[in-house]
Structure 1
């Protein structure tokens, strides 16, 4: 059968290619966001800031722990 310039599988291949590009972009973006959040989730100073903001520690404890973490031990 003569299809001319349009091959029926060419259109399906084009849609498949677009789908793979879109899926790759979504996965890449999702992993990037996960790594960013995961890296900052375990940052000691960020955890210390959150503990101060939630009222778990006092300002005096915060400054002592911050100095200890940054290497300014007395």
Structure 2
């Protein structure tokens, strides 16, 4: 038997690393289920345009003009 017992010196480090990955996966999984995003809005331009109209950033005329641009593509 080694002088370290059943835990080699790096065994504890890898155990902590595995535990960190496990906890991170749980947190990311729960955030995805709650609808949190991790980056830029992936819903597309039309959804962003509708959000801007709803928040009052643009008026209805600007919305219709920009919506026509999306319909051309």
Name the TM-score, length of structure 2 as normaliser.
Answer: 0.49
Structure-1-length-normalised TM-score: 0.48
